[in-house]
Amino acid sequence: MDRRIRKTKDAIKKTLLKQMLVLKYNELSVSGICEEADISRRTFYLHYQDIDDVFRQIFEEINAPLYRGMEELERLYGYGENEEYELGEIFRLINETIENNTAYLTRLATEPSYAAVQTRHIVLMKKLITTHLKYTETEKDMHSVYLDYYISGILELYFQWYRHDHELSLNDIRSFALDMLRAERTYLRNRSTEE
């Protein structure tokens, strides 16, 4: 990418991130971003379709280390060969992403107007975990229901962490998440043997 293009795009993203920390989603505007970034609306639209397009690129950049970590796990271990270790590493990578982007992710988790942007992160987390859980044919019927239930609980712990509602560390949440998913797997396996 041309250095000038990269510099302009970085200015747009940096400005959006700065503004989102103080403005609600519906208060953001292309004009406001352009004014603060000292660019024209035409320049903005040369690089992005709209504000959501900027958020999509921020999302991809924030999660790029997570994706690379997942690719490395797949390369080293293959999916499902060491499920518990892989899930532990997934949560370690998620926690690392949170630690490196705390202000942005806290705003998404605590300001209701950013719910649509936050949903992308929730979908990604569910996808990452689901990809690494291997289910038997019998388990597949119920796994999405249970997974949604457990992941919702785990996500709630993260949201409470953002709001400082408890004293758990990110590592405590990781341990709890692994215990929850282990219990979910045990329950489903026991249920399938009873049937």
Same domain, 146 and 77: yes
- pLDDT, tens digit only, all 195 positions of the chain: 699 999 999 999 999 999 999 999 999 999 999 999 999 999 999 999 999 999 999 999 998 998 888 888 878 776 555 667 777 888 899 999 999 999 999 999 899 999 988 888 788 777 777 766 655 555 555 666 777 777 788 888 898 999 899 999 999 999 998 888 778 777 766 766 665
Same domain, 183 and 129: yes
At position 183, the amino acid (one-letter code) is: A
Domain tally, the chain = 2
**What is the token pair recorded at 161?**
């962490």
What is the span of the domain harbouring residue 30? 3-47
Q: 81 with 169, same domain?
A: yes
Ranges assigned E (strand) in the chain: none
Q: What is the 3-state secondary structure (H, E, C) of 138-151?
A: HHHHHHHHHHHHHH
Distances in whole angstroms, Cα of residue 123 to Cα of each of 40, 48, 68, 133, 182: 34, 23, 18, 16, 21
Cα separations in angstroms, 169 against 44, 112, 160: 39, 24, 11
